[in-house]
Chain A
Amino acid sequence: MSTSVKRGRTLRAWLGTSAFCGLFSAVYEHFSHGVYSNFMIFLFLVPLLGGVLPALLLRLLPRLRRPAAAARRLWNSAVAALTLGTCLTGVFEIYGAPSALVRVYWWAGGALLAAALIAWLRPRRAAHQA
């Protein structure tokens, strides 16, 4: 499968995730009797800014450095962890029960994000060395 096809699939996947998150938070807020959480309201922004925007930039700016497969996986994993963390924080805020375990999503998301950036920015080895 070509890279451009994969990139198109990734963009559609994140677009779908953003739409699902927006719908999910709208339904959740509707049934939460007026109790709201900013984490729930702005949940859709996480996959939108973390998934759709980078994929669009890579498509619109061909001169931008292409991430390797490992960097792309780390980045997507980070955005997935942050999306789930945001969603659960919203749920717990609306319920009124804090959970210390949610911090794991932020730590994991941050670590994976850093790893993805390092993997993207580090100099690549030449494919065929003499």
Chain B
Amino acid sequence: MNKKRRNLWTPLYGLALALFTLYVVLDAFVIPRSYAAVQNETTASAIVQSVGGGTASQSTTGTTSQSASGTTSQSTSGTTSQSTTGTTSQSTAGTTSQSTSGTTSQSTSGTASQSTSGTTAQSTTGTTSQSASGTTSQSTSGTTSQSTSGTASQSTTGTTSQSTTGTTAQSTTGTTSSSTSGTTSQSTSGTASQSATGTTSQSTTGTAASSAASQTPVVTADSYSDGSIAIQITTYRVDDTDVYVADVTLASADALKTALANDVYGKNITAATSSIAAAHDAILAINGDYYSARSGYMIRNGVLYRSTSGGSDQEDLVVWADGSFEIVTEGSVTAQQLLDRGAWQVFAFGPALVTGGEISVSQGEEVDQAKTSNPRTAIGIIDDLHYVFVVADGRTSASAGLSLYQLADFLKSLGVQTAYNLDGGGSSTMVFNGTVVNNPTTNGTRISERKVSDIVYIG
């Protein structure tokens, strides 16, 4: 009997193809996955320590933890003696350079914690003696430069906490003696500059608290002011489109932050801009670059999450520790180099809209293949610590949306020096004091917030 063979290939292959396609779609749009940040897997890239011209002695007792990222360089000449007892934790990120000449003696007892981010340069000449007892905590962000000449002696007893954010420059010449007993807390935000010449003696006993922080916030429907943060929301009508501009002035770059949905770095991990903003007590927030749907470098709040390039022509926005903006192409620098140079935030969406005060997109240039008007989100800097957060409506009968060129032209008219395009379309959202300001369009023209991967916020 001539038995007919059944064709099993077609149904089996069809089933395999269908199942694999289902997996590809779920993987791309649905299945959440969290990833580890690159920085957590990377040790210090370059640590140079050199001791020359004299005796160096270091004695450590108890637990000592030291973590350094980026370029760290330390040079010591003459007699150096350092003695540490108890728990000491020191963390340094960015470029740190320390040079000491002459006799230096440093003694620390009890718990000492020191954390430094950004560029720090310290140079000491002559005899320096520093002694700290009890709990000492010092945290410095941004650019710090300290130069001491002559004899400097500092003695601290009890609990001391010092936190400095922004640019700090301190220069001391001559004999300086400072003695502090009891509890001392000092917090400085913004730019601080101190210069002393001759003999300076400072002695504090008991509890002293010094803070240059915020005043009581004054909040209206479209403004916020607390002494260190000033925000004004203004709505413009541009090319048949409602455009919302938040004019932001900060006393410190520390207030310009980013946040990830659910505070987790990964794929398909999303939340509404307003939800992420509420979780971080944001005063003002806009959607970020939707990193999980893009490729390219990603640094957020000084942490390197992704170092794979999205292409040599990919334009990234770098927000440095001092709050300044720079546009870089990924072909010209690595993510690790940006981190080492003190990059605080790196966004990989683009393109750059305005550079050097001039429009940097052509009339036909668009994000990938987007050729028509759309909702847009952009961030720009006008002057030092003076920013604009811009969100344009679109895809509705009330607002057509903007092309990138129209957006760039508008930003230029605001006086922006550098501006960068973030994720637009249905993602474009601005939240001020917990309220969504614009009309975000999700799934076409329906007005509702789309869940996004990340936000940029002031808080």
Contact = CB atoms under 8 A, between A and B. Distances in A.
Interface of A: 31, 33-37, 69, 73, 77, 80-81, 84, 88, 92-99, 101-102, 104
B90 to A, nearest CB: 40
Contacts of A37: 369
A35 B21 contact: no
A96 to B, nearest CB: 5
A96 B444 CA distance: 16
A35 B142 CA distance: 40
B10 A99 contact: no
A73 B9 CA distance: 8
B374 A34 contact: yes
Contacts of A95: 28-29, 293
A35 B366 CA distance: 9
A48 B292 CA distance: 35
Contact of A36 (B7, B14, B369): B369
Contacts of B279: none
B444 A31 contact: yes
**Nearest 7 Cβ contacts at the A-B interface:** A34-B372, A97-B293, A35-B370, A36-B369, A101-B24, A99-B28, A34-B371
Interface residues of B, number: 30
Given A101-B24, A102-B24, A36 B293 contact: no
A33 B369 contact: no
Given A33-B395, A34-B374, A104-B20, A97 B444 contact: no
B13 A92 contact: no
Contacts of B372: 33-34
Interface string B287-327: 00010111100000000000000000000000000000000
Contact of B294 (A69, A94, A96): A96
Contacts of B29: 95, 97
Which of the listed residues A35, A84, A95, A96 has the most CB atoms from chain B within 10 Å of its own CB? A96
A20 B373 CA distance: 29
B190 interface: no
Interface of B: 7, 9-10, 13-14, 17, 20-21, 23-25, 27-29, 290, 292-295, 367-374, 395, 425, 444
Contacts of B28: 92, 95, 97, 99, 101
Contacts of A77: 9, 13
B17 A96 contact: no
Contacts of A31: 444
Which of the listed residues B20, B23, B292, B369 has the most CB atoms from chain A within 10 Å of its own CB? B369
B16 to A, nearest CB: 10
A101 B367 CA distance: 23
Nearest to B5: A69
Contacts of B21: 84, 88
B5 to A, nearest CB: 10
Contacts of A80: 13-14, 17
A34 B395 CA distance: 11
B27 A35 contact: no
Nearest to A73: B9
A84 B13 CA distance: 13
A36 B371 contact: yes
A107 to B, nearest CB: 12
A93 B368 CA distance: 8
Given A31-B444, A73-B9, A97 B369 contact: no
